[in-house]
Amino acid sequence: MDPEILYTRKERAGVAWAEVTLNRPEKGNALTLSMLDQLETITAVIRSDLGVRAVVLRGSGRYFCTGGDITAWGSLSPQEMGRDWILRGIEVLSQIAALPQPVIAAITGHALGGGLELALAADLRIGIGEARFGMPEVALGMIAGWGGVRRLAETVGVARARQLTLLGVPITAQQALEWGLLTALADDAPALEEQLDHWLERLLANAPIAMAQTKGLLATMHQDLRHAHASAAAHATATEDCREGVRAFLEKRKPVFQNR
């Protein structure tokens, strides 16, 4: 069986960068607890490797990441949801965001739910025109619990974050660029690779300590709201609406919410 997360260390002119690829294309690269564990291990390797100057996050196949695998969290109790799923995801994504190296999300397919939260943990995001970006959790009676609501609001503004999270309707790549959710937009995958190469050339030439210090200053904007997110997600999981949303998803039908 192929590993669900691929890690590659690449070099150019004696300077290295890391590429991390979600490798579960048959499931839209949906994240499981095992994948979160693998991401944490890889992140620790990258953090300790002083030779790595930048990080690229990718998804294999048609999607960047379709979020957290509903089969991984759909049957969890509220307590398990908060403790084992939400806090775990927040911890891993926070470790990615806190890497001293700049992180680029190279998005050649849809980034939805937890997948968009993962992309928001990166410093720079480039996507292709066909990609869509959204947080559809409310349609399942759930919320985006891995810190993405706050990161989204910091990135695109509160009003636009409300639109994306309350309507639950994805936006186009062009709209994501106009909102500032994407740093750059490419016509297709080859054009994305060309832009990515330009960014890597620039980042690999920059002073790594200065970039790390700059990231540290920007990180001071974030308060520790992990437990607030976990509590909110646990509350959502405890509702009948969430149970109905999960059942409807698995049964491939439209959910009927009762506001309880």
Closest by CA position to 45, among listed 12, 11, 7: 7
User: What contacts 48, CB < 8 A, 6 or more positions away?
Assistant: none
Instruction: Kindly name the residue from 19, 91, 130, 137 that is annotated as catalytic.
Output: 137
Count of helix runs (H) and strand runs (E) in the chain? 12, 10
Backbone angles phi, psi at 186, to 5 degrees: -115, 150
Distance separating alpha carbons of residues 161 and 150, to the nearest angstrom: 9
Distance separating alpha carbons of residues 93 and 121, to the nearest angstrom: 6
**137 in active site:** yes
The position carrying tokens 């891995």 is 146
Maximum C-alpha span of the chain: 60
Other C-beta atoms closer than 10 Å to the C-beta of 186 total: 22
User: What contacts 243, CB < 8 A, 6 or more positions away?
Assistant: 141
Backbone angles phi, psi at 106, to 5 degrees: -100, 105
Burial 191-229 (b: 16+ CB within 10 A, else e): ebeebbeebbeebbeeebeebeeebeeeeeeeeeebeeb
Instruction: Kindly name the residue from 4, 40, 80, 117 that is annotated as catalytic.
Output: 117
- Which residues are marked as active site? 117, 137
